[in-house]
Amino acid sequence: MSRYLVDQIEQNPKIEVHRNTEVRELIGGDTLEQIVVEEGTGGERTTLSVRALFVFIGAEPKTGWLDGQIALDDHGVFAAGDVRSGSVRRLASAAGEGAMSVRLVHERLQA
């Protein structure tokens, strides 16, 4: 994430940033109303009233758990976003890559 965007988010009074926090539950009807979060590892769970949620997992993809779990080649697996080889690490690119991954999976399954 660019420094400019980080600064904009941190300075916006309508945005509350929770670092090192895991989302455990989403609550709502037609729209998101609350989320249950867990602070840190094994921390206390808190219910927050919200209208929106953006999850940013960091700039370094955590894919080490794949090793030995699935067959990988030089290019990896069907993926989108930061975990993709050669990713530009931008949201718009990740959305396009996600759509492309779905198309490629469908093509592969039909072959």
For residues 58 and 7, the model is more confident at: 7
CA-to-CA distance for 108 and 106, rounded, in angstroms?
Answer: 5
For the chain, give every domain's residue range.
1-56, 60-111
Q: What is the pLDDT of residue 28?
A: 93
Q: Which CATH architecture has domain 1-56?
A: 3-Layer(bba) Sandwich (3.50)
Helix, strand, coil in percent for the chain, rounding step 5: 30, 20, 50
Report whether pLDDT(2) > 80.
no
Which of 20-24, 61-65, 88-92 is the most confident on average?
20-24
Mean pLDDT (the chain) is 81
